[in-house]
Structure 1
Amino acid sequence: MSVTKPIHAAQTGFPVADGCLQVGGIPVTRLAQRVGSTPFYAYDRRLLSERVAQVRTHMPAALELHYSVKANPMPALVQHLAGLVDGLDVASGGELKVALDTGMVPGRISFAGPGKSEAELRQAIAAGACIHAESERELRTVARLGADLGIAPQLVLRINPDFELKGSGMRMGGGAKQFGIDAEEAPRMLALAATLGLDVQGFHIFSGSQSLKADAIIEAQAQTVELALRLAEASSNPVRMLNIGGGFGIPYFPGEARLDLAPIGAALDLLLPRVQSALPQAKVSIELGRYLVGEAGVYVARVVDRKVSRGQVFLVTDGGLHHHLAASGNFGQVIRKNYPVAIGNRMGSGDTEAVSVVGPLCTPLDVLADRMELPRADVGDLVVVFQSGAYGLSASPTAFLGHATPSEVLV
């Protein structure tokens, strides 16, 4: 059976000193002592800031950058990013509260997602956040609630495009989708909005996420702009906001190459002047979640048992799929692959062995690393799962089997 090779310290983005991984400049062993218990998530401020700066360097200056809160809604992390980006995108009333608590200007907070409740829509209208309407029902509800509150709602239409982001890990547009208003239905929805007295400020067009192919992202962005220009012709109001989505992916598995931002930025340098000429009032934005935070976080669990079953070594930890569903392979993977994993207090050790890292749950699905070559570890050592800054704790079934919820720290 194949064995996944160990990750090298230089690949992680986190420094190593004296064989110990550091997060936020703190050795992971000392960080575990400060937190007081394992498991826990730790997010590195420096890496978050550097990633935002990297995106800014490669993208056109006129392009606004928004953070998609659903990737990681930890309040301290969102607060940190709010000072670095131009807007926050949320997908629930709970995330809306987190975003508002940062002090971000409400008009720069956008609220997307299907099935928004009346209570959530009322909250968004009252706060002055921008609602991304995804259906006729939402349009009619927003109009009614705005009239009840005596407030003109901030509003754009979320569009389900007639194309998809090729090679994306998750297709959010093209075909029949629960997300957004079908592109061919948008002119009718624009006319309806006008009869309802709603001021539609623009469009949100999102075609997919987690792409590592620059050419595919460039093609999708060009198609997005073409669609936006066509839809603008059907609008009775000038387009003032255009969210062209994101889709930037990060590598998780062996053989995956990092996304090259340079050609994407160069293509946008050529594309934005066309938008600015046709839609002179439009502010164009991209929304990124995973790309900004995914590589800045780690999940840390402690080995509580070491056992051998018919020749296979198992490291049993105090954390697992209930805290990190994605790393277990149960969050959309078709064929399970290992996230990058290391023994955080034995980085660079030459004494390695093939092991499986499993959690404490009574299910064979509770696997953090399957047949992976790692430094020899024993009870008390710290297992570190990289690429854990996005879709980690908040995307996991924390109530499963009643274990305690792990801590989160921003360092």
Structure 2
Amino acid sequence: MTASELIIGSGPADFGTVAGELAIGGIGLSRLAARIGSTPFFAYDRSLITERVQLLRQTLPPAIRLHYAVKANPMPAVVQHLAGLVDGLDVASAGELAVALDTGIRPDRIGFAGPGKAPAEIGRAVAAGITLELESETEARRVAEAGVRLGIRPRVAIRVNPDFAVRGSGMRMGGGPQQFGVDAERVPDLLRLITALDLDLIGFHVFAGSQNLNADILGEAQRRTVELIIALAELSSTPVRYLNLGGGFGIPYSERDRPLDLTRVAANLAELIDGPIANRLPEARPVLELGRYLVGESGVYVTRVLDRKLSRGEQFLVVDGGMHHQLAASGNLGQVIRRNYPVAVGNKITEPPAEVSTVVGRLCTPLDLLADKVVLPTTAVDDLIVIFQAGAYGLTASPTAFLGHPAPAEALI
């Protein structure tokens, strides 16, 4: 069995093999583990990230500007690499803002979205000259106060909570009551406040849902987003220059998932750009904000087998990692219906499957489950278990402090 048979990819991304082992960035797994010095660790392949951006550039309309959502993987080396490939970065905290600014990217290519921005964060963002995406009237006033204090006219956009929801998303972030954005029906009042506060309004941002694999549903959401922003733009005293259509592009995590049809998404975007956007919002620069889709399939989580034990007929492999590093693979504390991520024995990548095993971590909870009853080669203590699709929402989206085990290393190869 080869690595390509284990990966459920949606583009050209693929891991290779070197002397019968998984190869990441052209380096065999055992050599890579020795170089890093310990397990567990995350490894990200920079060539796969580059290929994913190239795929998007080749497939999407040229007018689309690609932004990277730093929250997906804020490792400084990953953000630095992507800053040279995409058109902008989107952050959600002062910490992410610092990582973004350290790349040297122009501040006007950074957007700051997310509810509950603290006054100190707002002040730092205004001083840096980035775009603040307003999530409430309170934020608008705080941004204006920071601008007066610093002698800067802040640049802002409005994040809109739309009056529609996106079906089929792994996480719904628009429609109905939400902590995200300003309800569409409240935007007219916010527009008047922005004018009174003399903020530089450049446009709108709608992010309705994440992890969607259905091109038709994404297309419908994009069409309705454009319709909504056209209606809101008629109430604005300034032309729309910034049109953030969100993202939500999903990647497959299990055998039942089918990759997103990127060509269909591109065709729909082309119709919108050549039609209503060109006709009604001629100065708008359409943006796609992508995180998981750019980095998710570029990464692996590698953990070493500490113990092999049999319990009432079931084979368990106990590893030195677990849900405290890779929460999503474990099922997010039981909040979702758990399905196995692609998994392999990385130092036996070409060996045939031989036994059914359950891979668990060493935390004191039955929720610490990385792979349930998977068919693997015969596995021994010190073998390396690899969880694929681990490039996004891994380490920083996991409860690393639980039980006090050491944090894993990260490497961009």
TM-score by length of 1: 0.97
RMSD of aligned residue pairs (Cα, Å): 1.3
Structure 2 residue 399 is the aligned partner of structure 1 residue 402: no
User: In the alignment, what sits opposite 1:312?
Assistant: 314
User: In the alignment, what sits opposite 2:63?
Assistant: 62
| SS, match of residue 348 in structure 2 | coil
The within-5 A match list for 1:327-346 is 327-330=329-332, 333-346=335-348
Structure 2 residue 45 is the aligned partner of structure 1 residue 48: no
| SS, match of residue 158 in structure 2 | strand
Query: Could you tell me how far 1:200 is from its partner in structure 2?
Result: 1.2
In 2, Cα distance between equivalents of 1:332 and 1:169 = 15
In 1, Cα distance between equivalents of 2:93 and 2:7 = 37
| SS, match of residue 355 in structure 2 | strand
User: In the alignment, what sits opposite 2:163?
Assistant: 162
**Which of 380, 386, 389 is the aligned partner of 2:388?**
386
Query: Could you tell me how far 1:19 is from its partner in structure 2?
Result: 2.0
| SS, match of residue 34 in structure 2 | helix
Give deviations 1:202-229, integer Å, cap 9, x for gaps: 0001111100000000000000000010
User: In the alignment, what sits opposite 1:97?
Assistant: 98
Q: List structure 1 runs of 4+ shifted beyond 6 angstroms.
A: none
Query: Could you tell me how far 1:10 is from its partner in structure 2?
Result: 6.1
Stretch deviating more after TM superposition (257-266 or 271-280): 271-280
One-letter amino acid of the counterpart of residue 311, structure 2: S
In 2, Cα distance between equivalents of 1:131 and 1:117 = 12
Query: Could you tell me how far 1:104 is from its partner in structure 2?
Result: 0.8
In 2, Cα distance between equivalents of 1:199 and 1:30 = 53
Stretch deviating more after TM superposition (191-200 or 328-337): 328-337
The within-5 A match list for 1:2-401 is 8-9=5-6, 11=8, 13-273=14-274, 274-330=276-332, 333-401=335-403
In 1, Cα distance between equivalents of 2:200 and 2:187 = 14
Q: Is the 8 A contact 2:246 2:288 kept in 1?
A: yes
Query: Could you tell me how far 1:350 is from its partner in structure 2?
Result: 1.8
| SS, match of residue 141 in structure 2 | helix
Give deviations 1:226-249, integer Å, cap 9, x for gaps: 001000001011111110101100
Give deviations 1:179-213, integer Å, cap 9, x for gaps: 00000100110011111111211000111110000
For structure 1, list consecutive stretches of 5 or more residues without a partner in the other structure: 1-5
| SS, match of residue 60 in structure 1 | coil
Stretch deviating more after TM superposition (146-155 or 326-335): 326-335
| SS, match of residue 299 in structure 1 | strand
Query: Could you tell me how far 1:18 is from its partner in structure 2?
Result: 2.7
Stretch deviating more after TM superposition (147-156 or 266-275): 266-275
TM-aligned CA distance change 1:332 to 1:188, over 3 Å: farther
One-letter amino acid of the counterpart of residue 5, structure 2: H
Percent identity over paired residues: 60
In 1, Cα distance between equivalents of 2:31 and 2:220 = 46
TM-aligned CA distance change 1:7 to 1:354, over 3 Å: farther
One-letter amino acid of the counterpart of residue 389, structure 1: G
Q: Is the 8 A contact 2:7 2:342 kept in 1?
A: no
Give deviations 1:232-286, integer Å, cap 9, x for gaps: 0010111111101011000001211100100111111111022122222211101
In 2, Cα distance between equivalents of 1:185 and 1:308 = 59
Q: Is the 8 A contact 1:7 1:342 kept in 2?
A: no
In 2, Cα distance between equivalents of 1:387 and 1:294 = 5
Q: Is the 8 A contact 2:8 2:254 kept in 1?
A: no
In 2, Cα distance between equivalents of 1:93 and 1:360 = 33
Give deviations 1:14-40, integer Å, cap 9, x for gaps: 112332100000011110000000000
In 2, Cα distance between equivalents of 1:8 and 1:239 = 46
In 1, Cα distance between equivalents of 2:333 and 2:108 = 33
In 1, Cα distance between equivalents of 2:144 and 2:213 = 40
TM-score by length of 2: 0.96
Query: Could you tell me how far 1:133 is from its partner in structure 2?
Result: 0.4
One-letter amino acid of the counterpart of residue 338, structure 2: R
Q: Is the 8 A contact 1:327 1:338 kept in 2?
A: yes
| SS, match of residue 50 in structure 1 | helix
In 2, Cα distance between equivalents of 1:114 and 1:15 = 41
